[in-house]
Amino acid sequence: MKSLILAGSLGLSLLLSGCVISVDGHDGYQSDWQKQEKHNRKEVARLQPNLTTGEVMDRMGVADFSEFVKKGDDQYHVLYYRTQRVDDDGVTTKDECTPLVLKNDQLVGWGNSALAMLSQ
């Protein structure tokens, strides 16, 4: 009888055990895009005005999007880095990115307010 109870307990414990995988970033698991967003947010928070394009790219890596605008004698380069997920569709869009605005190869601002100054 004891061996039957022991065998039943062992079988039941095997049936009830399992592996739980968290896919939403909890319990220490993060996907590659979550790690990249976290890295980008950390680096954006550490940015300082007047960094060159090369210095920004050394810190941030390759931008998700890049734009160039010339206004008068000034050249503007806007680099977009993904910092937050909006849609869970596997596609990065500009609304999921933080823009970094460089004027004549110097970082002059970041975020939507910095981008808005270009349209003034």
pLDDT tens digits, one per residue of 5-18:
655 555 555 444 44
pLDDT given for residue 5 in this prediction = 60
What are the beta bridge partners of residue 110?
100
Residue 93 pLDDT: 86
The 10s digit of each residue's pLDDT in 49-106 is 999 999 999 999 999 999 999 999 999 999 999 999 887 777 888 999 999 999 999 9
* Chosen CATH of 31-119 out of 3.30.70.980, 3.40.50.300, 3.30.1450.10, 3.10.20.30: 3.30.1450.10
Q: Which among 115, 67, 65, 60 has a CA at the least distance from the CA of 91?
A: 65
pTM of the predicted structure, to 2 decimals: 0.72
Residue 32, pLDDT score: 87
Give the CA radius of gyration of the chain. Answer: 24
Q: For 56-83, b where at least 16 C-beta lie within 10 A, e where not — what string?
A: beeebeebbeeeeeeeeeeebbbbbbbb
pLDDT (0 to 100) of residue 89: 79
- 47 or 86, higher pLDDT: 47
